[in-house]
């Protein structure tokens, strides 16, 4: 009986040990693959920018705020992300090279980044400024793309665009944007107004 018990015990023990090793190996492999994927993306972004290949650059540019900050952001614990120092030039290039031919693709890309986005210094701040400038330049095209999003997603985009340490300091920019958007889309203007009022309330509540 004792022999049977010992065989059962060691079978379970080594089985569990082997399984734990397999899980760790799989997780490690997944982590390495993710890091390689990010590394490859960063390398290709740098190459596309260096070659002034806007089509490739636009395609390779991050699709979400998480990806954007992972590449261009700053981490208080770990410092600069890989392309932190290139952020300003890359973001200017992203928006400034946009034309009527590719503006829908550009807005689809940057709206995806803005959804659930939050203000941060440096890269995110540059991104906000250039995004607002692009909307003022191509308001109809922007509204065409954002109209395909849910109300929740549209609200998130407008909230992000005017998020910051002191939203009350952006009232002039808000008024300009509201007056631009309202004749073109009453619904989007109302969402913008609602989100800006939320930002102002949050600012007051923090004081």
Backbone angles phi, psi at 115, to 5 degrees: -60, 125
pLDDT score of 150 more than 70: yes
Average pLDDT (189-199) is 98
What band does 12 get if pLDDT is binned at 50, 70 and 90? very low
Whole-angstrom distance, CA of residue 195 vs CA of residue 158? 6
pLDDT score of 7 more than 60: no
Average pLDDT (95-109) is 92
Average pLDDT (5-18) is 42
pLDDT for 36 equals 63
**Where are the alpha helices (H) located in the chain, listed in sequence order?**
2-50, 54-60, 65-72, 87-96, 103-114, 123-137, 139-146, 151-162, 171-181, 186-206
What band does 35 get if pLDDT is binned at 50, 70 and 90? low
pLDDT score of 109 more than 70: yes
pLDDT for 121 equals 93
Residue tagged 């410092």 (tokens)? 79
Q: Give me the percent of the chain exceeding a pLDDT of 70.
A: 83
Q: What is the mean pLDDT of the chain?
A: 87
Angle at 158 between CA 91 and CA 151, to 5 degrees: 125
What band does 207 get if pLDDT is binned at 50, 70 and 90? confident
What band does 38 get if pLDDT is binned at 50, 70 and 90? confident
Whole-angstrom distance, CA of residue 124 vs CA of residue 118? 8
**CA end-to-end span of the chain:** 73
pLDDT score of 30 more than 60: no
pLDDT score of 24 more than 80: no
Whole-angstrom distance, CA of residue 69 vs CA of residue 84? 9
Strand, coil or helix: 79: strand
pLDDT for 8 equals 42
Q: Give me the percent of the chain exceeding a pLDDT of 90.
A: 77
- Can you count the helices (H) and strands (E) in the chain? 10, 2
pLDDT score of 17 more than 50: no
More confident call, 99 vs 158: 158
SS3 content of the chain, % helix, strand, coil (to 5): 75, 0, 20
pLDDT for 198 equals 98
What dihedral do alpha carbons 108, 110, 111, 113 form, nearest 10°? 120
The structure tokens listed for 194 are: 């609602």
């Amino acid at each position: 009986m004792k022999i049977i018990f010992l065989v059962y015990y060691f079978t379970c023990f080594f089985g569990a040990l082997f399984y734990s090793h397999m899980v760790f190996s799989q997780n490690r492999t997944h982590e390495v693959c993710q890091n390689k994927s990010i590394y490859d993306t960063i390398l290709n972004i740098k190459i596309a920018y260096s070659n002034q290949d806007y089509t490739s650059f636009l395609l390779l540019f991050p699709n979400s705020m998480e990806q954007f900050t992972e590449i261009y952001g700053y981490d208080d614990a770990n410092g600069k992300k890989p392309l932190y120092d290139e952020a300003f030039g890359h973001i200017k290039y992203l928006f400034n090279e946009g034309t009527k031919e590719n503006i829908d693709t550009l807005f689809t890309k940057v709206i995806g980044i803005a959804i659930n986005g939050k203000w941060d210094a440096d890269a995110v701040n540059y991104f906000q400024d250039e995004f607002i400038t692009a909307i003022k330049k191509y308001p109809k095209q922007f509204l065409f793309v954002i109209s395909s999003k849910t109300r929740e997603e549209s609200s998130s985009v407008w909230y992000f665009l005017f998020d910051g340490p002191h939203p009350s300091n952006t009232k002039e920019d808000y008024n300009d944007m509201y007056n631009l958007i309202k004749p073109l889309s009453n619904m989007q203007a109302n969402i913008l107004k609602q989100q800006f009022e939320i930002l102002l309330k949050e600012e007051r509540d923090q004081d």
